[in-house]
């Protein structure tokens, strides 16, 4: 990275353009101060990065599994060594508490690299004697993976795309989020020192940079994480080249509490599920569905806990909930509180905002519990992506499932009940890629992660993810165990064809 003397300094990267229109500024959400101006890529730089990755991949794919695995393991170790440093950077542009960045994001990122370092040594390949043929199926890399990352867990999404892509033998061109790119840039800087062959490239910028990447005909597959509307746009762009895409999109996740649940356990999990990472989580427990017999009790317990949350600068170890990532995101979430109240929801509890004048320009939203929410309200259906939990009442199991499945999303769900048969029945009926029973622990590296419906498709963070980053290729080899049947034995192509004399 090189910097000029302007304030904030304009940071140039390998694939920066020279067009001032591609510059963008990153703010510290805790104070609203501008902390960096990056010179982003333009279409020519995206093209050059993809071509460089495409050329480099030829060498990388020929390296042994052991070599690629060793590289991934070294990356995992390096992330652990630099976890505190990268976590502080992540707090500076994303806003989240540093303890969450280090303990969750960076720990998960290292674990993802470790996972695929191990996975690739037992790749999903198969060989079988099949009559007169030996059939051998291998996993082929797509070539260049176009990876597009959102702002909420930048290191995890970077790891979730890079690790399996590199394991299978792909090169990667990655676009970091424009709101919070700094942790990704530091991570990639460290990774570039470890990965040989020049196979990892980063193209900073806003949406059009992602669109240029998705449109590139040398991109073999797109791995996108972000909002459903952006996913649709990515898919339409990719359609022109028939480029396949893995899409991890939003969620409006139900957290279902039956009246026989252990509330001493359910309430702390709900607080973590709803307000961790400022609620800027595709996995946020944003819909709290509670059986009517315990609705008031749960509302009171959650309200008491919400009021105890400390909102503040993520760099302060006392902070539970940091600021939202940008002023736009703050505005959007505050608007949803107005929309909810106008629809008839009750603002049941809020945490205090920080009083420190140094934080007056920060993008804070008070963690909020909305009660008396009806399943038809906008706040019960649209992804708010902030520290807001909407509390909905249900009478029985059937109604709980009906409400849970009543949005287009299907990412994760939580089911809390003391009756394990009821919990399992409900988990079976709920449409989601991942269901937590009597807990809500989202650190699930090794378990297939992804959704259905408007939450997208494809699975990350597990052994099966290797299939997302490679396609099957089969060789059919005569094994000498018998004749290979032909389906047109009567067609004799060895006979000399009748020649037509030229006239
Ligand atoms: P976003 O869709 O606005 O942006 C995501 C990325 O796409 C950014 O890098 C952005 O610059 C880029 N982009 C924007 N327009 C583009 C275009 N036309 N073509 C290509 N790329 C484009 O999402 P966000 O606001 O950064 O993140 C929040 C969303 O991400 C939420 O909906 C959330 O649920 C979702 N998310 C999903 C998961 C998951 O794994 N399912 C995880 C985290 C976040």
How does DSSP classify residue 174? E
Q: Which tokens hold the place of 447? A: 């378990």
- What is the CA(386)–ligand 1 centre distance, in A? 15
Question: What pLDDT was estimated at residue 496?
Answer: 66
Question: What pLDDT was estimated at residue 3?
Answer: 39
Q: Nearest CA to 387 among 444, 316, 329, 442?
A: 329
Q: Strand 245-248 relative to strand 456-457: parallel, antiparallel, unpaired?
A: antiparallel
Residues of the chain whose pLDDT is less than 50?
Answer: 1-6
Whole-model pTM? Answer: 0.95
Summarize pLDDT for 374-415 with one digit per residue, the tens.
Answer: 999 999 999 999 999 999 999 999 999 999 999 999 999 999
Residue ID of nearest Cα to ligand 1 atom 14: 207
- What is the CA(326)–ligand 1 centre distance, in A? 14
- What is the CA(229)–ligand 1 centre distance, in A? 9
Tell me the CA distances in angstroms from 9 to 181, 191, 320, one per residue in order.
15, 24, 31
DSSP string, 260-307: TS-HHHHHHHHHHHHHGGGG--TT---EEEEEGGGHHHHHHHHHHHHH
d(CA 205, CA 20) in angstroms, rounded, equals 12
Which residues are designated catalytic? 248, 282
Residue ID of nearest Cα to ligand 1 atom 42: 282
Question: What pLDDT was estimated at residue 502?
Answer: 63
Taken in order of first residue, the domains within the chain and their CATH numbers are: 10-249+455-473 (3.40.605.10), 254-445 (3.40.309.10)
* Residue 113 · residue 79 · CB < 8 Å: yes
Question: What pLDDT was estimated at residue 444?
Answer: 87
Laid out side by side, the sheet with 133-141 consists of 126-130, 133-141, 470-478
Atom of ligand 1 nearest to the CA of 451: 41
- What is the CA(223)–ligand 1 centre distance, in A? 11
Best mutation site among 222, 226, 411, 457 for ligand 1 pocket (most ligand atoms within 8 Å of CB): 226
Question: What pLDDT was estimated at residue 97?
Answer: 98
- What is the CA(418)–ligand 1 centre distance, in A? 37
Atom of ligand 1 nearest to the CA of 177: 9
Percent of the chain with pLDDT over 70: 96
Tell me the CA distances in angstroms from 208 to 215, 224, 233, 235, 479, one per residue in order.
10, 14, 11, 14, 52
- Residue 18 has, within 13 A of its CA and on its CB side, a CA count of 0
- Residue 360 has, within 13 A of its CA and on its CB side, a CA count of 2
d(CA 493, CA 164) in angstroms, rounded, equals 47
Please list every protein residue whose CB sits less than 6 Å from any atom of ligand 1: 148-152, 175, 177-178, 206-207, 210-211, 214, 225-227, 230, 233-234, 248-251, 282, 383, 385, 411, 455-456
Residue ID of nearest Cα to ligand 1 atom 16: 207
């Amino acid at each position: 990275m090189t910097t000029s003397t302007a304030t904030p300094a304009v940071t140039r990267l390998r694939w920066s353009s020279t067009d001032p229109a591609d510059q963008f500024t990153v703010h510290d959400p805790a104070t609203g101060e501008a902390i960096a101006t990056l010179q982003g890529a333009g279409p020519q730089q995206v093209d050059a990065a993809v071509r460089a990755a495409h050329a480099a991949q030829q060498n990388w794919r020929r390296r042994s599994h052991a070599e690629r695995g060793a590289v991934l393991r070294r990356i995992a170790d390096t992330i652990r060594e630099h976890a505190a440093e990268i976590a502080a950077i992540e707090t500076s542009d994303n806003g989240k508490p540093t303890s969450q960045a280090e303990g969750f994001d960076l720990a998960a990122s290292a674990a993802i690299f470790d996972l695929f370092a191990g996975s690739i040594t037992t790749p999903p390949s198969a060989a079988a004697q099949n009559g007169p043929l030996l059939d051998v199926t291998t996993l082929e890399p797509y070539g260049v993976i176009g990876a597009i990352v959102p702002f909420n867990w930048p290191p995890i999404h970077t790891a979730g795309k890079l690790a399996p892509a590199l394991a299978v033998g792909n090169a990667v061109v990655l676009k970091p989020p424009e709101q919070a790119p700094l942790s990704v840039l530091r991570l990639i800087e460290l990774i570039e020192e470890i990965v040989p062959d020049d196979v990892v490239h980063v193209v900073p910028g806003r949406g059009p940079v992602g669109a240029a990447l998705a449109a590139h005909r040398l991109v073999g597959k797109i791995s996108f994480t972000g909002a459903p509307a952006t996913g649709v746009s990515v898919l339409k762009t990719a359609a022109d080249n028939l480029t396949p895409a893995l899409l991890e999109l939003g969620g409006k996740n139900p957290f279902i509490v039956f009246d026989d649940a252990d509330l001493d356990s359910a309430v702390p999990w709900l607080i973590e599920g709803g307000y961790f990472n400022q609620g800027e989580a595709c996995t946020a427990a944003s819909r709290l569905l509670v059986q009517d017999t315990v609705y008031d009790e749960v509302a009171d317990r959650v309200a008491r806990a919400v009021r105890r949350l400390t909102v503040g600068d993520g760099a302060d170890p006392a902070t539970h909930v940091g600021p939202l990532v940008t002023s736009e995101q703050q505005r959007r979430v505050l608007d949803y509180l107005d929309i909810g109240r106008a629809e008839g929801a009750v603002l049941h509890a809020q945490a205090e905002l920080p009083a420190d004048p140094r934080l007056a320009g920060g993008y804070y939203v008070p963690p909020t519990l909305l009660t008396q929410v009806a399943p038809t309200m906008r706040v019960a259906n649209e992804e708010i992506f902030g520290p807001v939990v909407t509390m909905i009442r249900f009478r029985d199991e059937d109604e709980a499932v009906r409400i849970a499945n009543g949005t287009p999303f299907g990412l994760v769900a939580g089911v809390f009940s003391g009756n394990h048969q009821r919990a399992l029945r409900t988990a079976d009926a709920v449409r989601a890629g991942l269901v937590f029973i009597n807990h809500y622990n989202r650190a699930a590296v090794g378990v297939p992660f992804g959704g259905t419906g408007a939450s997208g498709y494809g699975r990350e963070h597990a052994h099966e993810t290797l299939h997302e980053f490679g396609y099957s290729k089969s060789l059919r080899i005569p094994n000498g165990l018998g004749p290979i049947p032909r389906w047109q034995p009567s067609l004799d192509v060895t006979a000399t064809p009748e020649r037509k004399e030229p006239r």
